Amino acid sequence: MRLDKILSDSGLYSRKEAGDAVRRGRVTVDGIVCRDPGAKFDENSACVVADGKQIGYVKFRYIMLNKPSDTVSTTEDDPKSVMKLLPLEYQKMDMFPCGRLDIDTLGLLLITNDGQTAHALLSPKHHCEKTYRFECLPIDEDARVRLESGLELSDFVSKPCKVELSDPTHGEITVTEGKYHQVKRMFHAVGSEITYLERIRFAGLELDASLERGQWRELTEGEMKMILEIAK
């Protein structure tokens, strides 16, 4: 891989900054100064040091974001895009949200540049569980059972799911699908409406309670291993 790309993939330099650092002799590879940003090395074995810091090559990044309201889960250059909540260097790493949450839905959103894993986690084949905390217009036991059993909506029949109520207007729902407006449409179908929706679990990941809305962090080693295992 090109030396400037090894540096920019580390997240510490933009591609231009990486090129400048190399040309100015601030980068060594295996102890020797290299001034050619286009020089190619094996990113997994070369010892690259820039500005005195060893650069570990990280191929893929996985970020947990606590999505705030009034943000959209797209990569497009939309001022409301969740990607704007990440530092610039992350925005340059071809990252994208793994799945969509509605503009007013809050909570756990995985952002990555690992297309294969994202695809696997979203694929119906993997039945990845997604749990949402909700508030709704009051529902009774009959509606709860209907939600759980699967409902005929205009373009699909929802799969059986789990709905736990703490009172007639609050609870948690765990679904294994991710159809457009799925939870809202399911509640509408039983004569209720969702008034608050927050994703608290996705593919075994638990929303980190220490993240404020709009805050993010990289996944821990353990979380990363878990989603890679699920996506296998």
Which of 36, 102, 114, 155 does the annotation list as catalytic? 102
> What's the closest the beta carbon of residue 78 comes to ligand URA, in angstroms?
16
Contact 22, 4 (CB under 8 A): yes
How far is 59 from 47, CA to CA, in rounded Å?
15
Nearer to ligand URA, 27 or 83 (CB): 83
Contact 171, 164 (CB under 8 A): yes
Nearer to ligand URA, 63 or 173 (CB): 173
Contact 110, 203 (CB under 8 A): yes
Write out the two tokens for 212: 């404020």
Around Cβ 133, how many Cβ atoms within 10 Å? 18
**Residue numbers at the binding site for ligand URA (CB under 6 A):** 101-102, 105, 181-184, 197
Nearer to ligand URA, 66 or 105 (CB): 105
β-strand partners of 84 = none
> What's the closest the beta carbon of residue 212 comes to ligand URA, in angstroms?
20
> What's the closest the beta carbon of residue 161 comes to ligand URA, in angstroms?
11
Q: In the annotation, is 102 catalytic? A: yes
> What's the closest the beta carbon of residue 179 comes to ligand URA, in angstroms?
8
Nearer to ligand URA, 51 or 104 (CB): 104
Whole-angstrom CA distances from 83 to 66, 87, 127, 135 are 12, 9, 26, 27
Query: Minimal CA–CA distance to 12: which of 90, 72, 77?
Result: 90
Catalogue the active-site residues. Answer: 102
